[in-house]
Chain A
Amino acid sequence: MALSTKAIASVGGECDHVRRTPVRTMNGEVMPPTPHRETVISNGQRAMHLQRVNLAVRVSDLAATSSAFFDVTAAGEPSEELNSLIPELRQFVELIGDLQDPPDEARRYRTLIPAEVWRQGTADFGNLSALDEDIGTALDAVEKDEADPGKLRALAERLSALSKAFSELGRGEYDRLMDPQTAEA
């Protein structure tokens, strides 16, 4: 059933994440009114959501760059320009290492989110604990010109799928931030 857009509030006043009337958006979305108590998002909660969005986007982008690098390298088309991407791949290796670290007990609240985002994004991929090592090993092999194209291609495909999963996770998190109630529907 389509949501009614005709209900018009007799009282005004809304705060950022509390809608008392249906809201019409540019894409034809109609967001229903949301009950007050359940959906007020505090600044702390908002910051947490934003951190999740940013982290998911970061992993997705770096995985995509890494995938593109290995895909082109496997096709035997290296170039100086392509090699300029290597520092980003090294950054990705480092980031994966950080994400897999257990939460810091002294600052558990802050460090829990990255680990949680990583766990959620990789949930469908089985064990990815050695991904950083796989990328590092592949990079070393490429730099020594000893890489196996088949292995590089397989790694590129894994990374591409990972990138997609994290970009969906980031968008889902964003959706939940903007519209906590209906995003769960």
Chain B
Amino acid sequence: MTAALTPAGLVLSGALDIRHRYYRLLGSLEEAKLAADLGTRAVLDAMSDDCRERMLEHAHAVRGQVIAAKARSKTASWSDTYLSQIVDRSVNGFTSLTAKHAEVYLQLQDSRKVREDLRYLLYRALNLSLVSSRHEGLVSLKTSGNLQWETTAFRSDGGTTASVSVPWLDSLGPLRWPLVVHEVAHYFLPFGDEANDLYTQIAQENGWNADAFEEIVADAVAQRHFGAAYSFALAREGYLYSFRKHVTGGLSVEQRLRALNDPADLLEALPAQWGLAQRNSLGETPEGIPDDQVTDMRNKAEEILSDLARVHELDPHLNREDAVASGIELLLATEPAPAVQKSTAAEAVEKAIAAREADPNAEVADVAQAAVHIPLTDGEIFEAAWRAEVCRDPDELVRVLGSEMTDEVIEIELAEVTKQDIWLARSLQSAAVHRWLVETMALSDAS
């Protein structure tokens, strides 16, 4: 069961997310130790202990605030002060995790490769072909010791290549992978056309800040494939970095989320304590980009994407609400969620009975529909995963965050996070194969 999105729910699930990231780091250290030489293993052992200690410090800091808030409120409502304190603890925990991550990364020569399923996802999201050498040359994905998604571009005789630094820790679990599409979209549009000159030209024609316009288009490209899931990823990542200086383009993360305009429940529940409206600009007008200009930029971005869809004869797909709901149900039962049944067995049998009652000779082939599974899209799987992550019952979150961290709790939670990551990755892979089969069958039927 999931709960409605609330500011408190977002803050609390955000605090738990930091703990989960520590688990990923701990889990990967254990894995790296297995293949390490004795010296490296000793170093990794020490790092693992230190990482565990930091996680416990973070968990205790959050626990302190949760216990105090519970004592003061005695009800389900949370005062702004405590929410603010919990956000502060989360950002602190993330800052400390970032430092630890940078340190651990230096010791992990052998496991630094970006996973291939992340690359496949990127190719699907941008309608690139895995067998095109031109497309292969567009992007270089590299893991990074920084916990921040970054991109730069290089030009050679063969054209431009976007080099994306994927935070190594984020490469281990798929939840934040929609962010990679945003990164690449700074330089390429879906189907692989170079975008930089186009962004600059449009921005100049309209008197806009080119950096801000580029940001809005890159958001729209990511949203095109992932729908609401991208907004969840952006909001969650955005608040952890909202304290940082030098944001350029004059846009706040909140403005970008409002431009995406979906999902309504997330926009409604964005906690003020996340500080997403903040603009820490360097050398720019302090007032930033006016909202109406952001709307114009967004309209232009939609126009670009509609033109592309028309040229390539692609229908835009929206995440189906019922498919997302079924996906959430499966993920919460810690099952993979690659597909949903076309209809339930009960529904199909009822239909068949009704058909037979109306006409004893009627075909009852509909019964077979109960066995047919429809693959979910990447967007639907990610939205299901994000909703399962953030729409947790606040009482349950308070219980988890307010509990003592024993060895047993750590072991269980670590196993849970690992399992969730594996199921999510497998869901994405098997759904992709399933969709490919369905499309191939449709093509062969048509011919």
Contacts and interface: CB of A to CB of B under 8 A. Distances in A.
Nearest to B98: A174
B211 interface: yes
B67 interface: yes
B96 interface: yes
A88 B60 contact: yes
A21 B88 contact: no
Interface stretch (B239-247, B264-272, B389-397): B239-247
A88 B156 CA distance: 57
A28 B155 contact: no
A178 B434 CA distance: 42
- Determine which residue in B96, B100, B144, B250 has the highest number of CB atoms from chain A within 10 A of its CB, and name it: B96
Contacts of A64: 61, 64-65, 85, 88-89
B289 to A, nearest CB: 11
Contacts of A177: 99, 102
A85 interface: yes
A79 B238 CA distance: 36
Interface string A106-146: 00000000000000000000000000000000000000000
Nearest to A20: B152
Contact of B99 (A29, A53, A77): A53
A24 B65 contact: no
Nearest to B155: A8
Given A5-B210, A27-B253, A68 B155 contact: no
Given A25-B149, A61-B89, A182-B282, A8 B154 contact: yes
A19 B146 CA distance: 13
Contacts of A185: 246, 282
Contacts of B237: 26-27
Q: Say whether chain B's binding surface is mostly helix, strand, loop, or mixed.
A: helix
Contact of A179 (B88, B246, B249, B283): B246
A12 B154 contact: yes
Contact of A182 (B61, B245, B249): B245
B152 A60 contact: no
Contacts of B154: 8-12, 21
B92 interface: yes
Interface in A1-41: 1-3, 5-6, 8-12, 14, 16, 19, 21-31
Interface residues of B, number: 76
B182 interface: yes
B299 interface: no
Contacts of A28: 211-212, 215, 247-249, 251, 256
Contact of B150 (A25, A62, A71): A25
Contacts of B256: 28
Given A2-B284, A170-B92, A29 B209 contact: no
A46 B106 CA distance: 11
Contact of A163 (B69, B88, B145, B234): B88
Interface of B: 54, 57-58, 60-61, 63-65, 67-72, 82, 85, 88-89, 91-93, 95-96, 98-100, 102-103, 106, 144-146, 148-156, 160, 163, 179, 182-183, 186, 196, 200, 209-212, 214-215, 234, 237-238, 241-251, 253, 256, 282-284, 402, 404
Interface of A: 1-3, 5-6, 8-12, 14, 16, 19, 21-31, 43, 46-47, 49-50, 53-54, 57-58, 60-62, 64-65, 68-69, 71-72, 75, 77, 79, 81-82, 84-85, 88, 163-164, 167-168, 170-171, 174-175, 177-179, 182-183, 185
21 contacts: A8-B155, A8-B160, A16-B145, A23-B151, A24-B150, A24-B152, A26-B148, A27-B237, A29-B244, A31-B150, A65-B64, A68-B64, A72-B68, A77-B71, A81-B70, A88-B64, A171-B244, A175-B244, A175-B245, A177-B99, A183-B245
